[in-house]
């Protein structure tokens, strides 16, 4: 299997895993009682943590099934400052070693009109270093769309794509936070590219915003 096919298989497999989960168990029970009405405006600020926990538990349960149809071997949860929320290990081919796939989980409310605008993706310096060290690594964004009902948080949809394949117009560099952001999570376009082309793209965005001197300093932090 070629590198390109492995990346494609990783994206499709993760998409299928979560679509399968959503079909059978997409409710995260919450009992807020009388505070539900007051919480409704701001629940999205904490919903991501609940969805991450739900997704992690679901992935672990799947990995425990040794003959699961997705070839998921094991799951590792990311720590607070890690680049990823989950690190998944797949066995795509019998004669090949396990394939790690880094997953960044994004949760977006369907109940709030402004939700999904300019969400943070990842630190510029960290993701640049990540792909510089190994351009074949697979870094996937999994976007969960959810609503709040009386029974809890309902995960209604999921979309999976590679970070490096986001259209140039969809990637925003935030100078203040030194973060890459997604312009609108509800309107995603893809432009498949290599890791080196992705690095070139985000370098251009950084330099346009902060200049060549600061770019050299930022890149030097990871050398």
Residue 29: CB partners within 8 Å, gap ≥ 6?
A: 151, 152
pLDDT of residue 81: 85
Q: Any idea which of 26-35, 54-63, 99-108, 110-119 has the lowest mean pLDDT? A: 26-35
Dist CA 78 CA 194 (whole Å): 25
Taking the alpha carbons at both ends of the chain, their separation in whole angstroms is: 32
103 forms bridges with which residues in the sheet? 86, 140
pLDDT of residue 1: 46
Q: Does position 3 have pLDDT exceeding 90, yes or no?
A: no
Dist CA 13 CA 7 (whole Å): 10
Specify the pTM: 0.91
Rounded to the nearest 10°, the torsion over CA 164, 10, 144, 125 is: -30
For the chain, which domains are there? 3-220 (3.40.600)
Mean pLDDT of the chain: 91
Between 133 and 40, the higher pLDDT residue: 133
90 forms bridges with which residues in the sheet? 72, 99
Mean pLDDT of 165-169: 97
Dist CA 142 CA 140 (whole Å): 6
Residue 49: CB partners within 8 Å, gap ≥ 6?
A: none
Q: Any idea how long the chain is?
A: 223
Q: Place 112 in a pLDDT band, splitting at 50, 70 and 90.
A: confident
pLDDT digits (tens, 9 = 90+) for 132-151: 999 999 999 999 999 988 78
Q: What are the C-alpha distances in Å from 160 to residues 58, 141, 142, 191?
A: 16, 6, 5, 14
pLDDT of residue 149: 82
Closest C-alpha among 146, 147, 148, 141 to residue 119: 141
Tokens of 111: 């109940």
Q: Does position 219 have pLDDT exceeding 90, yes or no?
A: yes
Q: Give percent of the chain above pLDDT 90.
A: 74
| 109-145 exposure pattern, b = at least 16 Cβ within 10 A, e = fewer | bbeeeebbeebebbbbbbbbbbbeeeeeebbbbbbbb
Instruction: Find where tokens 């992935």 sit.
Output: 59
pLDDT of residue 46: 81
Dist CA 79 CA 30 (whole Å): 24
30 forms bridges with which residues in the sheet? none
């Amino acid at each position: 299997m070629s590198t390109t096919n492995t990346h494609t298989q990783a994206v499709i497999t993760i998409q299928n895993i979560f679509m399968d989960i959503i079909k059978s168990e997409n409710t995260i029970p919450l009992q807020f009682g009388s505070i539900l009405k007051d919480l409704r405006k701001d629940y999205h600020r904490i919903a991501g943590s609940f969805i991450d926990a739900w997704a992690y538990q679901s992935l672990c349960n799947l990995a425990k099934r040794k003959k699961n149809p997705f070839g998921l071997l094991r799951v590792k949860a990311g720590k607070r400052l890690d680049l990823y929320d989950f690190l998944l290990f797949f066995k795509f081919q019998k004669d090949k070693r396990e394939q790690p796939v880094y997953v960044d989980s994004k949760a977006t409310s369907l109940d709030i009109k402004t939700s999904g605008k300019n969400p943070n993706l990842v630190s510029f310096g960290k993701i640049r270093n990540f792909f510089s060290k190994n351009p074949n690594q697979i870094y996937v964004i999994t976007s969960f769309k959810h609503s709040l009902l009386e029974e809890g948080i309902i995960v209604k949809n999921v979309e999976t794509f590679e970070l490096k394949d986001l259209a140039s117009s969809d990637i925003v560099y935030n100078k203040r936070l030194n973060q890459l952001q997604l312009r609108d999570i509800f309107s995603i376009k893809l432009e498949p590219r290599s890791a080196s082309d992705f690095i070139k793209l985000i370098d251009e965005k950084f330099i346009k915003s902060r200049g060549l001197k600061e770019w050299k300093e930022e890149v030097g932090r990871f050398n």
